[in-house]
Structure 1
Amino acid sequence: MSTPIQPVVLRRFGNSELQWSPLGLGCWQFSKGRGMVGGFWPNLDSKIIQDIVRTSITGGINWFDTAEVYGKGESEQALAAALNALHASEKEAHIATKWWPAFRTAGNIPATIEQRIQALSGRTIDLYQIHQPFSFSTVSAEMREMAKLAQAGKIRHVGVSNFNAKQMIQADRTLKEFGLRLVSNQVKYSMLDRRIERNGVMDAAKELGVAIIAYSPLEQGILSGKFHKDPSLVKNIVGPRKWFSGFKAERMQQTRPLIDRLDELASTYNASVSQVALNWTVHAHGETVFAIPGASKVSHAEDNVKAMRFRLTREEIQELNEMSLSYGK
């Protein structure tokens, strides 16, 4: 059975005036293979990156998530180069990037902002995030520096990543002193990893009006269903991902019923398994959760955008909710 293709509906992004698509494009894979973090991915050709970005924008994605630590700025530069080559306006393509706090103090935030702006070819930083909560400074000290950047017009909004509920509340409280609000928290979240629903992060996000940005929404590709259909593909995985517990035979067998149900729904919506999984991710909690699947091939980007062209019913979302609860870590 086929269903009507729906237009992409933008939604308010947390405590901001931004209207963003439910899915953004995660750009870690644009790191050009540089650095310990960027080395997780192959060195993508600039033409491929441009095609991925074009496909994303054409398909309705209007924001891109990158970071300083992704290839030591290479991801930011590659993204900006692609957007410039495509003549994409800042209304068509919003940018979220991140400051890396490890072994640094809050004073490094204003000291390095010009590097971020330069790497992004002067494009507006719509969302600037603290990449993780571990640094030589307090959350409040970091938020004060971020607030100053916003007041100076260097960035538009402030977000965090991998913060727990208590840290989210503290960040928002400090930003309020400057007339600002915490806009988002980027955390790992998928049908197979629902820890934020139990540790207070999701509850805090809803109470504060903070958007959740879900990274690894397809659980390293497990929720694409391809590894269940052909287990031999697991042997071909390269890099750290191959050690992920979800790829173990016992775990794959445990998650098979969920994948089988996703596959059935995929047939109903003329979609793929991964598209159904992404659709659940961005609708299971109203409009709180956004997701940033990556794309190292144009076909991945095409798959991503199609996930926004239909909507699971309330009953289907609830069914998947109950099934995946038994697998959540």
Structure 2
Amino acid sequence: MNNYVYAADKNRYECGMKYRRAGKSGILLPEISLGMWHNFGDIDIFSTCKNIVHYAFDHGITHFDLANNYGPSAGSAEETFGQIMQKSMAPYRDELFISTKAGHDMWQGPYGTWNSRKHLIASLDQSLKRMHLEYVDIFYSHRYDPETPLEETLQTLVDIIHQGKALYVGISKYPKDKAEEAYNYLQSQHIHCLLYQGRYNMFDRKVEQEGILDQARQAGSGFIAFSPLAQGLLTNRYLNGIPTDSRIARGGFLKKESLTPETIGKIKALDKIAASRGQTLAEMALAWLLKDDLVTSVIIGASSVQQLQDNLMCLKNTAFRSEELKQIEQIL
């Protein structure tokens, strides 16, 4: 370990991070996980990426969430993470829970996307090479594929476990009926679906309304939430208009049409409740997801150590008074 510049904080498990059990499994995940959808690509500064990962691990974040197409460019987030593993995190591999996924567009031609056996196995092999890993802790089918027979996709996940390339498998963004089929098939093959990963935040509650949260619990699977801040809407960035450096201004996934007068009104009203709790809006939005045990972990992104530090403040208060919850419901 002396060959590595980085030495993890000895008190990393005593800094306030709590861990929750992923459904009916032996796995505990941190309440906050670090996602690498953006900010870890080849367009980003490597030293910043490395510092964010080190800070996360030093503060109890053991779960790092990736996918084959994360970047930009596609694949480069895994390459960045692989460099960090080689340079500093390799001694801590057994303390890390690393995920990747396949199913979205990745390379040209008919085998570069969706959920065929060909794509899933090829993609995972590429991911392992990029990250310099022998296995990932969990491998997801990143989205439901309406063309490939579901049994082909699920049997591939089973085989990936048997090959030792992943310890667990999960599904992401599956519609409820297909998720049910997935749970049942995997169980019939004596493979547990560890996690369902879905979009969930104060403004997008489909997984709650459609029963996907309850379904995961009944299946013995955990639920891990992504996009907890609605891509920045549930922060103070848009309280007074659209900043020039914001996602909306840059023309990314978040569109200007999302920021309607009604939405701005909700953001301002929620911000007042957050202030009364001694929290920022972002802290309260994250805490709201952790208010009960339906959510195993919340995936956050970070473009700086300071942003990660700010978001981790949410863990200081994840309890809500019934009056607060009523006020929030009225606003939403």
| TM-score normalised by structure 2 residue count | 0.84
Higher RCO (CA < 8 A, seq sep 6+): 1
Go from structure 1 to structure 2 and tell me whether the alpha carbon gap of 1:233 and 1:157 turns closer, same or farther (over 3 Å shift).
same
How far did 1:241 drift? 4.1
Q: Residues 67 and 100 of structure 2 are in contact (CA less than 8 Å); yes or no, is this contact kept in structure 1?
A: yes
1:107 counterpart = 2:118? yes
Secondary structure (helix, strand or coil) at the match of 1:141 reads helix
Instruction: Tell me the alpha carbon deviations over residues 26-66 of structure 1, each in whole angstroms, 9 at most, x when there is no partner.
Output: 10114526xxxxxxxxx211101001111111111111111
Aligned to 1:243: 255
1:132-180, CA deviations, whole angstroms, 9 ceiling, x for partnerless residues?
A: 1125312222111101111121101111111122111111111112211
The amino acid of 1:282's aligned partner reads: L
Name the CA shift for 1:326/1:192 in 2 (closer, same or farther; >3 Å).
farther
Shift in alpha-carbon separation, 1:314–1:326, aligned structure 2, 3 A: closer
Q: Map 1:236-275 onto structure 2 (within 5 A).
A: 237-265=249-277, 267=278, 271-275=279-283
C-alpha distance 323-122 of structure 1, shift in aligned 2 (>3 A): same
Q: Deviations over 1:175-229 (max 9, x none)?
A: 112211111111110012111111121121121122221111011112122321x
Q: Please give the secondary structure, in 1, of the residue aligned with 2:312.
A: helix
Worse-superposed segment, 95-104 or 216-225:
95-104
Deviations 1:89-147 (A, max 9, x none): 12332111101254452332223322121111015311100111125312222111101
Deviation at 1:264, TM superposition (A): 1.7
Secondary structure in 2 aligned to 1:313? coil
2:6 equivalent in structure 1: none
Separation (CA, whole Å) in 2 of partners of 1:181 and 1:320: 37
8 Å contact kept, 1:185–1:210: yes
- In structure 1, what is the Cα distance between the partners aligned to 2:149 and 2:328? 36
Q: Which amino acid aligns with 2:23?
A: G
Partners in 2 of 1:163 and 1:327 — Cα distance?
A: 29
**CA distance in 1: counterparts of 2:53 and 2:40, whole angstroms:** 14
Tell me what 1:44 maps to.
44
Instruction: Verify the 8 A CA contact 2:37 2:77 in the aligned structure 1.
Output: yes
Query: Which amino acid is the alignment partner of residue 287 of structure 2?
Result: N
- C-alpha separation in 1, matches of 2:156 and 2:185: 10
Give 2:35's match in structure 1, choosing from 23, 26, 34: 26
8 A contact 1:146–1:158 mirrored in 2: yes
Identify which of 287, 290, 310 aligns with 1:279.
287
Q: Helix, strand or coil for the counterpart of 1:206? A: helix
* 1:83/1:306 CA distance change after superposition, 3 Å: farther
2: CA distance between counterparts of 1:180 and 1:168? 14
Distance 1:241 1:174 in 2: 34
Matched, 1:178 2:189: yes
> What is residue 18 of structure 2 aligned with on the other side?
9
Return the offset for 1:327.
Answer: 5.6
Q: 1:211 to 1:110 in 2, by over 3 A?
A: same
Contact 1:97 1:129 in 2 (8 A): yes
Alignment of 1:87-106 (within 5 A): 87-88=89-90, 89-100=92-103, 102-106=113-117
Specify the alignment match of 1:78 in structure 2.
80
- Within the candidate set 298, 301, 306, 1:299 is matched to 306
| Closer/same/farther in 2, CA of residues 246 and 54 from structure 1, 3 Å limit | same
2:326 corresponding residue in structure 1: 322
Give the whole-Å Cα distance in 2 for the aligned partners of 1:233 and 1:14: 40
2:168 aligned partner: 157
CA distance in 2, matches of 1:244, 1:320: 29
Unaligned runs of 5+ in 2: 1-13, 105-112
Which residue of structure 1 aligns with residue 58 of structure 2? 58
1:38 alignment counterpart: none
Q: TM-score, normalised by structure 1?
A: 0.85
Q: Quick check: 2:224–2:298 contact (8 Å CA) kept in 1?
A: yes
The size of the alignment, in residue pairs, is: 306
Distance in 1, matches of 2:298 and 2:284, equals 13
SS at match of 2:18: coil
